[in-house]
Structure 1
Amino acid sequence: MKARDIMVSDVPVITTKATVAQAVQMLKDNYGDESFINAAPGLVVLSERGGLAGILTPLSVITALSGT
């Protein structure tokens, strides 16, 4: 078995220019109600050139908004 056999390939994508509010809305849209915080793998963040810039997880958002 290889990683490609079990990976999630339909993860939502945003760009580095997206706001945190847009990211939260995308998480809600793609993962349902507030319980998405426990289930959502996150969002793939693409650079302006379309390359991988990182991954934005629900915990990252919560941490940023809580100021810790």
Structure 2
Amino acid sequence: MPKMKTKSSAKKRFKITATGKIKAAAAGKRHGMIKRSNKFLRDARGTMVLSEPDAKIVKKFLPNGL
């Protein structure tokens, strides 16, 4: 059986933690920051763990997500 191909866009955007959860950067930080509140910008820093329904979708695109 051939190797499963990784979706290149997914491997650049998501990381899998040791426990199998999916980490991703916050949305809404690319442009238009002037209209966002300072609280939003602080909370959107760094990475966050995706919710279980979203993680289930992303895992289909990553070969080590199974």
Same fold (TM over 0.5): no
- Larger of the two Rg values belongs to structure: 2
Instruction: Report which of the two has the higher share of helix.
Output: 1
Q: TM-score, normalised by structure 2?
A: 0.24
Scaled by the length of structure 1, the TM-score of the pair is: 0.24
Higher relative contact order (CA 8 A, sep 6+): 2
